[in-house]
A and B are shown apart, each in its own frame.
Chain A
Amino acid sequence: MDKICIENLTVRYSDGAESLKNINLSIPEKTITVIFGPAGGGKSTLLRTLNRLNDLGDVAELSGSVIMNGVNLLDRQTDVIGLRRKIGMVFSRPVTLPLTIFQNVSYGLEVAGERRKPVLQNAVESALKQAALWDEVYDRLQDPANALSGGQQQRLCIARTLALKPEVLMLDEPTSALDPLSTAKIEGLLMDLKNELTVILAPHNTQQAARLAEYAAFFLQGELVEEGDGTQMFMKPRKKKTQDYIMGRFG
């Protein structure tokens, strides 16, 4: 079943940076969808469009629709803040907020108005467990978050989006700043998470894309070249451009 339907989506920035041209893409539910392609192909723009972070930048043109749960996310009427709670986002650099570990995870709930201590404590604990971080931090939840290692920080970033019980988790090159060990941990985590929610991943290299893709979409210069089953795409791509990219002929 499809979770998100993107129809005729076009995005253009006023400074002429990376954009998207007439994208049509369906993202299946409870699956890892990998969005890959060379830098500047439109991956980040797509992710930022889905949870409306583009509202903060200079978007010159935005058309088409993104339907989730029967609602067009790009509609002006859409409750942006509610939307961002449903579609979590993890960035390439682990940016922990200048707060304690606990506060980082409870942040999303607190800004949503949740003040009941036990509720927050439960949510933080289960989110940290879900992100496979609990065992490493349960005894120092009141320490500043930036005392954690890079890999731990990135899992903390995942945990704080999970605390909001999102329906979709988007990750933009989440392991690009991490060592191989931490990367493996996060990849394993994503394999578990996809049983509970929809994962959209912009991987930071083709190998990672191949490892994780159940469903895949290849973006090149703002256009969607090919989409389809992940395994098939990396074994036997239909389009020549996709093949060239996977074989490492450019990008």
Chain B
Amino acid sequence: MKNPRPNSTIKLGEWLITFFIRAAGYVSILYVTLIILFLLREGLPAFKNVDLSSLFGEVWYPIEGYYSIWPLLFGSITVTIGAAVIAIPLGVGTAVFISELAPPWAKEILKPLVEVLAGLPSVVLGFFGILVLSPFLRQALNLPTGLTAFTGSLLLGWSAIPTIVSVAEDALNTVPRTYREGAQALGTTQWQTIWGVTVPAARSGIITAVMLGIGRVIGETMAVMMVTGNAPVLPEGLNAFFLPIRTMTATIASEMGEVAQGSIHYQVLFLVGIILFFLSLVINVVSFMVSSRRMKRTERLLS
């Protein structure tokens, strides 16, 4: 090269940009750390100010100082179980249909619709729940109110479907074509191939899909707050499913706006947030490990 331009300014600019990029690489760790710090900072004092007997009692009635997290935990679990029962067969079934059986035109319809569902704001689902679904359920099932755990489960089931469908479909698509062809060369029907070969081969991906879907359900806030009736009570019997309940997320959302900053009630709501945070942490890290184990195994198979 003859006589290239002196480019120390280019070098400096490049150094700055590279520095910014490297720093930004760690931004996720920074944010997670900050989130943990601030949740703990605001929430941990609750342990000092509230009796354990109250925290693990039976009643959530903050005005009189009853801060039991059991009714809220129970509400979240009830709704989550209901939503999972709905979302798992629908989500996995749709994913299998899209990836294994659907003709191209059906894919062209199904996939965008699932994407539309993924894009629907939670509050829109909740709105639809209040205005359409819950009056319908109240009449159809002859209930005193349509705002029940069941209504919440229905809505949340649907809100979990896009996650399950897209992650499970990805997992099914990564199963090598040769597996399927090999099985069909042995004379099995397409149906037997799907359940005997393809789905088992994509098992860990499907498990990840279901876990991430459940993670979404637990964290869902607006829809569930609007349609489950806002009743933080422990159930009396098995019909709890058709009674109003309240989840942890809904409790935070509906009460945080009215508490005084730094009050005991405020601290306990942060404590509930801490529980939610660690629940989602466990679910996500475990499903990450399940799916990365799957990647390692395919890498071994391919090498």
A-side interface residues toward B, CB under 8 Å? Answer: 85, 109, 112-115, 164-165
Contact = CB atoms under 8 A, between A and B. Distances in A.
Contacts of B5: 113-115
Interface string B1-17: 10011110010000000
A17 B4 CA distance: 39
Most buried by B among A85, A114, A115: A114
Q: Which bucket holds chain B's interface residue count?
A: under 10
A115 B10 CA distance: 13
> Which secondary structure characterizes the binding site on chain A?
loop
Interface in B1-46: 1, 4-7, 10
A128 B67 CA distance: 80
Most buried by A among B1, B6, B10: B1
Contacts of B7: 113
Contacts of A109: 1
Nearest to B7: A113
A117 to B, nearest CB: 13
Contacts of A112: 1, 4
B5 to A, nearest CB: 5
Contact of A165 (B1, B6, B10): B1
A29 to B, nearest CB: 20
Contacts of A165: 1
Contacts of B10: 113
A109 B1 CA distance: 8
Nearest to A166: B1
A88 to B, nearest CB: 12
B299 to A, nearest CB: 11
A61 B98 CA distance: 48
Nearest to A112: B4
Nearest to A165: B1
A113 B5 CA distance: 6
A157 B7 CA distance: 26
B303 to A, nearest CB: 9
A2 B10 CA distance: 36
Contacts of B1: 85, 109, 112, 114, 164-165
